[in-house]
Amino acid sequence: MNICVKGIIFDIKHYSINDGPGIRTTVFFKGCPLRCWWCHNPESQSRHEEVVIRERSLDGRSFTVEEISGRWVEAEEVIREIEKDGIYYDQSGGGITFSGGEPLMQPVFLLELLKMSKERGYHTALDTCGHVDETVLKQVMDHVDLFLYDLKLIDAEEHLKYTGVTNEKVLKNLILLSDMGKKIIIRIPVIPGITDTPKNITALSNLLTELNGLDRIDLLPYHMIAKSKYQRLNMNYKLEELQEPSLERLKELKEVFEGIGMKVTVGG
Amino acid sequence: MNNRISKLREQSLRAVNRISAERALLVTEFYMSDLAQQVSIPVKRALTFKYILEHKRICINEGELIVGERGPAPKATPSYPEVCLHSLQDLDILNSRPKVSFKVDDETRKAYEDIIIPFWKGKSHRERLFREMDQAWIDSYQAGVFTEFQEQRAPGHTVLGGKIYRKGFLDLKDQIRKNMEKLDFYADPQAMDKREELRAMEIVADALILYAERHAQELEKLADGEPDPSRKAELNELAAICRRVPAHAPQTFHEALQYYWFVHLGVITETNPWDSFNPGRLDQHLYPFYKRETEAGTLTKERAKEILQSFWVKFNNHPAPPKVGVTALESNTYTDFALINVGGLTSDGKDAVNEMSYLILDVIEEMRLLQPSSMVQISKQNPDNLLKRAARILKTGFGQPSIFNTDSIIQELMRQGKSIEDARNGGASGCVESGAFGTEAYWLTGYFNLTKVLEITLNNGFDPRTGKQIGLQTGDVTSFTAFDQVMEAFEKQLRHFIDIKIKGNNIIEKLFGDYIPVPFLSLLVDDCIDNARDYNRGGARYNTSYIQGVGLGSITDILTSLRYNVFDTTKVTMAEMLDALKSNFEGCDELRFDLVYNTPKYGNDDDYADQHAVSVFNMFYQAVNDRPTARGGKFRINMLPTTSHVYFGSVIGATPDGRKAGLPLSEGISPFQGSDKKGPTAVLKSAARIDHLKTGGTLLNQKFTPQLFEGERGIESLVQLIRSYFRMDGHHIQFNVVNADTLRDAQKFPEKYQDLIVRVAGYSDYFNDLGKDLQDEIIRRTEHTEF
């Protein structure tokens, strides 16, 4: 196969230890069908290259630098970067995680990378929001060892309000993966007053008890660190005043999901 | 820790460093005596040793379970005028310097003024050394091309093996006598030298036994006056221990540790050897005693721990001997480098981890003392559990233990010609130095400023700071048309300065062999007795002299920048670059920004940069490795800086990597501060690019914030990260786990952070004791890792 498959990514992070087993490299795809209010990777939303304004200082003098977020790259180039850490995957039982953005928005590129990873014997994980056509998911799922499946809101209208899309595909695809016996870790962003309402938590619990193959639930507490990223990108941040969830609240939620027999971690 | 230990620990932490004239006066008295003029030099040194141990004050601290102090009290530090003579000005500096002062009382100052200085002026080793060095050596030394370890301290750098746990000093005396009988005055032209050396060894063996007896007598005196019956019994028991060891082989755990401690005192009383004498594989040496006694019910785990803790305090009571001259003012560190080894392999190649390994780690965690320092040896055979235990201690931000690759150490030692058993009985000492414990004299001879040599190359052999032509004329770099010409010129220059260093080393080794033999250390290190040859004259089974390369990250970044900016992208000409350096980047902010942010750097797993690390390393190796030393050993390289990267940076102007004049260089084989941007996996890959097995140790400092250690996941990942590095033959890795705000606060309010220990570079030190520049550097490093 010598066709050159290209995609757009915005980062490759090494020594990623919270995105699947072992020591991993995470490839961040650019472009996402959702617009979650709390998104902490706003640079991942657009499928296009974007100019980022960054202040860098040297000896107290500050320099304004324009950086481009997003880079069109060939799969071959990405795999060369991934391969550099082969010894760490081998030693730790780690591998590659495809995240974003939404990797499934670039299915041909993703599939190529998944195949190349599997050829090299690497464990693969796919971090997805699930808002994708079933056919696309079916194309790639055989090459994915672990799904990191993001689940936010069960109520369709609220999902639409806070993410910009309805959750019909999200829920359907989750059930599909579960029925196919795929290994899944559910990731729930804990956004105070939005995803952690009693109503949503109950609905999530009800859904999750129905599913097979769930490895674990990761509760991902809301972080305020994204604020400066929005400023750099000149984007509007809707959660200006929102506080991070308290440790007690996280503990309560952890207990709720443990109560339905799940293994739960906080922070992934 | 119990009340007794916590009191001893407090006493040690609170004790004030002071200079004691006791040893210097005794040495002077003996050197003035008639007897001293009548005997050979080895015997004179032995009698000096004996004279000190006969006359020095015996110090026994309240409640302690291991007895013996080098000086008259904890942290009362002797001086060694025969090696380096303190001037009155040195004493005044030491007394008043803000960092780690050594108090000098009027009586001590007067003893120096009236007796010590008048006798030793012109006779000390240091003065002899500087008289013997040629102009090229002096110029290079003053330019900061290299440092000289043996200029103020005697060669040491050896670690004790397992011998003393099997043999008493009376057994060693038997061995000496047998060798004496074998002397052949008809056929062996060295028979006389050998006899004098063996005589000297016999004298020092008796001296240490006598010294222990003096402790026994003092302990009995204390027991007589002790009202508390349990301490009274303890004092009597300690007296009995001092009568058995070191004369006889130890029978108990307690005897084994007390024996070692007497031996330790002997070594650091005989001279002021660099720097790392310690029991080495302590878990291996103690385990048989521990096992036997706990099984027999004569020792509990708690008691064993208490004795060990008391032993730990003894190390901390002994700061490094104070320096003289400019280093007395500037030196950032006054710890010695005893590095207790835990884990590794047995001499027959099996997993050596035992119960004692974990007990020692418990002690390290509880005591949180600067000295002794500690490390774990990790072989592929050792369980992850040991590594996890070590990681949990590291997480507390204490900087200990550091982590070593046993399998690499063994291969390094075997490559140098050691037997596999001797290699397996070895480990690392000092900062990171590989050695065969009990059988090798491996001397560190000085740091070598690789980056300075490159600066001199860029100036066609001229040193801009001292304004002298000290190197070869290797060509005007502005006329070079290819990058390879830079490398060629550098290599010529490097060989030139290595030759100067090696010539100096060979003279200095001979000076020590001739004037300051060490019969006591020779008793301890095989095969000095059987060779009837002094440790300082090549009597050990293996003799190695190291030159330590410093600034690998910096020189790699500089070469990379020249290749990238001058030759490949031609962003600037060589002349423009040199002008910018000359002006310390004055008015060249844009260029400097590009050099710092937009030029490939070492530490990012990028071949473009890392290839230069490999080239420089190989050139350094070729220039040094396998060359013969004056005492019949071999020169080798290792890559570690202690704190010399700060000094070495201070003598170098601005550099093409964007570093401004005078700032510190990179340390060990770590990337330059702040230039590794791809995380730890990339740093380790870059660091593993050079062939660690061709060294006798490399130092890699990895800075972690506590967050990365969080949870089982954090610890597990760290374990796998280390294992991966070791699979790539990485020699050593250490972790600094602190955050920048804490450090900044500590800088502002030092009083709040008296116990804050940070990993500096191969060893830990109190943050408050570091100079401001080093503190700043550690803060910068820390900041970089936070996110």
Asked if A94's CB is within 8 angstroms of B681's CB, the reply is no
Measured in angstroms, the CA of B386 and the nearest CA of chain A are apart by 17
CA pair distance B77, B336, nearest whole angstrom: 12
Closest Cβ–Cβ partner in A15, A18, A61 for B681: A15
Mapping DSSP to helix (H, G, I), strand (E, B) and coil, where does residue B446 land? Answer: strand
Burial of B416 (0-12, 13-18, 19+ CB in 10 A): buried
Q: Is residue A51 part of a domain?
A: yes
Catalytic status, residue B433: yes
pLDDT for the residue numbered B481: 97
For residue B124, give both structure tokens.
């000390």
Q: Which residues of B touch A66 (CB under 8 A)?
A: none
Hey, how many other C-beta atoms are within 10 angstroms of the C-beta on B72? 15
Q: Which residues of A touch B592 (CB under 8 A)?
A: 58
- B644 closest CA partner among B409, B506, B444: B444
Decide: B382 and B354 in contact? Cβ < 8 Å: no
CA pair distance B221, B235, nearest whole angstrom: 9
Tell me which residues of chain A, numbers 78 to 117, contact chain B at a CB-CB cutoff of 8 Å. Answer: 84-85, 87-88, 90-92, 94
pLDDT for the residue numbered B707: 57
Decide: A85 and A97 in contact? Cβ < 8 Å: no
CA-angle at A126, arms to A124 and A128, nearest 5°: 180
Q: Each residue of B765-785: pLDDT tens digit?
A: 667 777 777 788 778 766 654
Q: Chain A residue with minimal CA distance to B709?
A: A17
A37 and chain B: CB distance < 8 Å anywhere?
no
Least confident among A120-129, A230-239, B242-251: A230-239
Beta-carbon pairs below 8 A across chains A and B: 59
Measured in angstroms, the CA of B585 and the nearest CA of chain A are apart by 12
pLDDT for the residue numbered A168: 97
Output the average pLDDT for chain A. Answer: 91
- B27 closest CA partner among B273, B269, B325: B269
* ipTM score for this prediction: 0.93
Average pLDDT (A96-111) is 97
Hey, how many other C-beta atoms are within 10 angstroms of the C-beta on B650? 16
pLDDT for the residue numbered B705: 60
Decide: B161 and B439 in contact? Cβ < 8 Å: yes
Whether the bond between B649 and the residue before it is cis, its omega within 30 degrees of 0, is no
pLDDT for the residue numbered B138: 97
Q: Please report, as a single letter, which amino acid is at residue B538.
A: G
Q: Please report, as a single letter, which amino acid is at residue B419.
A: S
The DSSP annotation for B617-682 comes to HHHHHHHHTT-B-TTS-EEEEEB--TTHHHHHHHTS---TTSPPTT-----TTSPPTT---S-HHH
For residue B781, give both structure tokens.
């490093």
Average pLDDT (A118-128) is 97
Percent of all residues in chain A with a pLDDT value above 70, rounded to a whole number? 96
CA pair distance B717, A14, nearest whole angstrom: 12
pLDDT for the residue numbered A158: 96
Closest Cβ–Cβ partner in A15, A58, A87 for B679: A15
pLDDT for the residue numbered B786: 39
pLDDT for the residue numbered A232: 72
Asked if A17's CB is within 8 angstroms of B717's CB, the reply is yes
Task: Read off the CATH number of the domain in which A40 is found.
Answer: 3.20.20.70
Q: Which residues of B touch A68 (CB under 8 A)?
A: none
pLDDT for the residue numbered B674: 72
Helices (H), B183-298: 191-225, 229-244, 253-270, 282-296
Decide: B269 and B78 in contact? Cβ < 8 Å: yes
Q: Which residues of A touch B723 (CB under 8 A)?
A: 91-92
Q: Is residue A161 part of a domain?
A: yes
CA-angle at B50, arms to B47 and B56, nearest 5°: 135
The predicted model scores a pTM of 0.93
Cβ-based interface (< 8 Å): residues of B facing A? 589, 592-593, 596-597, 605, 660, 678-682, 685, 713-714, 716-717, 720-721, 723-724, 727-728
Q: Is residue A1 part of a domain?
A: no
Percent of all residues in chain A with a pLDDT value above 90, rounded to a whole number? 72
The DSSP annotation for B339-395 comes to EEEEE-B-TTSSB---HHHHHHHHHHHHH--SSSEEEEEE-TTS-HHHHHHHHHHHT
Measured in angstroms, the CA of A68 and the nearest CA of chain B are apart by 14
Among candidate residues B84, B242, B431, B588, the one labeled active-site is B431
**Which segments of chain B have a pLDDT < 50?**
762, 785-787
Q: Is residue A67 part of a domain?
A: yes
Q: Is the dihedral of CA B344, B348, B349, B350 positive or negative?
A: negative
The DSSP annotation for B153-172 comes to S--------SGGGT--HHHH
pLDDT for the residue numbered B327: 65
Mapping DSSP to helix (H, G, I), strand (E, B) and coil, where does residue A87 land? Answer: helix
Among candidate residues B151, B433, B509, B667, the one labeled active-site is B433
Pairing of strands B468-469, B462-463: antiparallel
pLDDT for the residue numbered B785: 45
Closest Cβ–Cβ partner in B605, B721, B728 for A84: B605
Q: Which residues of A touch B596 (CB under 8 A)?
A: 58
Q: Is residue A206 part of a domain?
A: yes
Q: Which residues of A touch B709 (CB under 8 A)?
A: none
Best mutation site among A17, A54, A66, A96 for testing chain B: the one with the most B CBs within 10 Å?
Answer: A17
Hey, how many other C-beta atoms are within 10 angstroms of the C-beta on A219? 24
Q: Which residues of B touch A96 (CB under 8 A)?
A: none
Rg of chain A (C-alpha set): 19
A58 and chain B: CB distance < 8 Å anywhere?
yes
Decide: B676 and B603 in contact? Cβ < 8 Å: yes
- Count: domains in chain A: 1
Higher pLDDT, B334 or A96: A96
Closest Cβ–Cβ partner in B685, B721, B727 for A23: B721
Note down the domain range covering A176: 6-266
CA pair distance B596, B608, nearest whole angstrom: 16
Asked if A85's CB is within 8 angstroms of B717's CB, the reply is no
Asked if B714's CB is within 8 angstroms of A92's CB, the reply is no
The DSSP annotation for B46-107 comes to HHHHHHHHHHSPP---TT-SS---SSSSTTEEE--TTT-PPPHHHHHHHHH-SSS--B--HH
Closest Cβ–Cβ partner in B678, B717, B728 for A87: B728
